Amino acid sequence: MIDFDPLRDPGPVPSPCISICRMQPQTGLCEGCLRTIDEIVAWGGASEETKRAVWTEIHRRRQAAFD
């Protein structure tokens, strides 16, 4: 996964996709990017603000997975 800080990194928000596209039935999250299917589908039309919010949630999910 790329390292993007939605609170500090300026400019366009990159996609978190790393081309490992497998949905985990236990969590409902993509194994590669930790997004929900709804977040993945909406990404292309999402505002920069929404994309930053998704990145914030990805960071939260990643942290929770390692706690």
In the chain, where are the structural domains located?
1-67
| pLDDT per position as a tens digit, 2-52 | 789 999 999 999 999 999 999 999 999 999 999 999 999 999 999 999 999
Residues in the chain: 67
The verdict on pTM exceeding 0.85 is yes
What the block records as the tokens of 25 is 């039935």
For 15, phi then psi, to 5°, come to -70, 140
Q: What is the DSSP letter of 19?
A: S
Strands (E), 1-67: 23-24, 29-30
